[in-house]
Structure 1
Amino acid sequence: MGDIDRNPQQRSLLEFKRAVPQIELVTVERSRTRLAAALRNGGLDVVIVTGKLPLLDNKSISLWSERVLVALPHDHPLAPHDTIYWTDLRGETVLLSHDDPGSELENLLISKLVSPEDRPKIERHDVSRGMIKGLISTNTGVSLVLESEMGINYAGLIYRELRDGAGPSRFEFSAYWRADNENPALAAFLKLLSERYPSPPLGR
């Protein structure tokens, strides 16, 4: 798909709230492990995450995808470039949060730069992604982010698309829910998601 809404997850929730205003929505942001546990225990009706959520007796649908970007200080030497290649990160310090999708971003970076001498220095911080942006603004390093994070303004930061020879890198988002969950509110939300992000025809 082409460029997405700045924050498709928020957009979907707002659209659902307008369509069914009598339903009380509660959102949570936790680690993938804690979200999976809450879904398994019935504490959550639906979880939207990147990648796979391996759980027994769950169902899923694919939603949107987001490009991977590099967040830079506005005066960084790479800032004048419209597009940055993974190989351009050599010699940089990449700051990543332990929060999701930090580990997935790190795995992606390692897969793009297989040789250790070509990789940037990776620093992992036990802080929120917002705090990582604060560190970037002090010229401590750069970071990898997803496209929807461009909507969260932080003074002094710019975002550039990361590419390799095959084009931009993307992360896929999916919704997961328990197969035995009969909550009518969940059914209504899943209907909205399936209409908003229809599956491509077979063969494409």
Structure 2
Amino acid sequence: MPQTMASINITLNHLRSAVAASDCGSFRQAAELLGIRHSLLSRTIGQFEHAVGVMLFRRSRGGVVPTAAGKGILHISRMILEQVDNLIVMGRSSGCGAFGRLAIGFCTSMSAGNLRASLVEFKQRAPKIELATVERSRIHLINALRNGAIDIAIIPGQVPISDSKRLAVWSERILIMLPQEHPLAAYEQIHWTDLQNETVLLSQYDPGTDMEDVLVSKLVADDKRPNIERHDVSRGIVKSLISMGLGISLVMESDIGASLAGLVYREIQDGSGSSRIGFHAHWRDDNENPALQRFLSLLAERYPSPPAGEG
């Protein structure tokens, strides 16, 4: 019983056989190129012609030449094969992290510092991976990590997150941001006790809460603490308030890359030296995104963990 057009499935073998015959100008040479029998190639092309309902080639003793209708079909066949080859290359590259998408969450500035440097280097190493950045509060980032909205969260401090892994990456110094005409601006280094009579403006959003925790830990006695004002604004607005002379603020050193005119930054110290906040990278245990694995390799390379017994 003869096959109908609907009963013949056009496969990649049909396309490759026809394109090879067109390129070689001969069924016999095309068969040799593909490493199959001449009769099999001829039968495969015949099935293809039957499926599309037109003759693809004019056959003669001198070889084969595409028909007018065949030229269009062969052109489309060639495009399909190229796309399939591209899919295979992309799939293999994605498997090793060369392509894909990586969503990174954070709650600190990217104007300077290690987060910025890490992303710049990662993009240089993997230019075809799409980077999606998400700036949110710590709580929002934890929820986004749990529901898979982001692949990795870079968070200050030590935050326990269930069903996730953690890597200690870098630490940042805490600096004082103040108007350039402020009396403390005359000093290169400032001590925590110098803040006793100051008004410290902090954002209610991360990492403002971390700054307040450090300040309270450094100045335990209530009568030694400065006046703390918490504002429901972004870090950028806090900078504007400081430039207006309404107080001073605590910032991480990554914030200094995007400063306003009239502001200066000074290191704050205690008897042990500069004060720092550590950062950790968090990711889900079951995340198999190859792009994430490549980024984690970069972080481990840039910020190796100290040997056991050190740090």
Identity %: 57
* 1:184 matches 2:287: no
Determine if the alignment matches structure 1 residue 85 to structure 2 residue 186.
no
Q: Which residue of 1 aligns with 2:249?
A: 143
Q: Does residue 58 in structure 1 map to residue 169 in structure 2? A: no
Equivalent in 41, 48, 53 of residue 154 of structure 2: 48
Equivalent pairs, count: 200
**In 2: Cα distance, 1:121 partner to 1:153 partner:** 24
Q: How far apart, CA to CA, are the structure 2 residues paired with 1:164 and 1:193?
A: 30
What whole-Å deviation, never above 9, does each CA across 1:36-67 have from its counterpart, x for those lacking one? Answer: 00000000000001012322110011111111
**Which letter maps to 1:64?**
W
What is residue 16 of structure 1 aligned with on the other side? 122
Q: Deviation per CA, 1:2-55: give whole Å up to 9, x if none.
A: xxx942101111111111111100001000000000000000000001012322
Name the structure where helix makes up a greater proportion of residues: 2
- For 2:132, what is the secondary structure of its paired residue? coil
Take 1:143 and 1:155, find their aligned partners in 2: how far apart are those partners? 16
Instruction: Say which one has the larger Rg.
Output: 2
TM-score, normalised relative to structure 1:
0.96
- Tell me the residue number matched to 2:236: 130
- Root-mean-square deviation (CA), in Å? 1.1
Question: 2:309, 2:148 → 1: CA distance?
Answer: 36
Provide the C-alpha distance between the structure 2 equivalents of 1:53 and 1:183, rounded to a whole number of angstroms: 23
State the distance in 1 between where 2:305 and 2:221 align.
37
Bigger mean CA offset, 12-21 vs 42-51? 12-21
What is the one-letter code of the residue matched to 1:130? G
SS of the equivalent of 2:160 reads coil
> Residue type of the partner of 1:75?
E
Supply the AA of the counterpart residue of 2:206: D
In the other structure, the counterpart of 1:166 is 272
Within 2, Cα distance between the matches of 1:20 and 1:107? 38
Runs (4 or more) in structure 1 with deviation over 6 Å come to none
Give me the whole-angstrom Cα distance separating, in 2, the residues matched to 1:156 and 1:180: 48
Preserved contact between residue 36 and residue 53 of structure 1 (Cα < 8 Å): no
- Separation (CA, whole Å) in 2 of partners of 1:182 and 1:166: 42
Give the whole-Å Cα distance in 2 for the aligned partners of 1:116 and 1:171: 23
Distance between the aligned counterparts of 2:228 and 2:181, measured in 1? 21
Among candidates 188, 193, 200, match of residue 306 of structure 2:
200
CA distance in 1, matches of 2:293, 2:258: 30
- Of 189, 211, 217 in structure 2, the residue corresponding to residue 111 of structure 1 is 217
Q: Find the residue that maps to 1:155 and give its secondary structure.
A: coil
Match of 2:205 among 99, 112, 135: 99
Runs of 5+ consecutive residues of structure 1 not aligned to the other structure: none
> Hey, what does 2:259 align to over in structure 1?
153
Letter in 1 for 2:119: L
Query: For residue 35 of structure 1, what is the amino acid of its counterpart?
Result: L
- Look up the match of 1:71: 177
Letter in 2 for 1:121: N
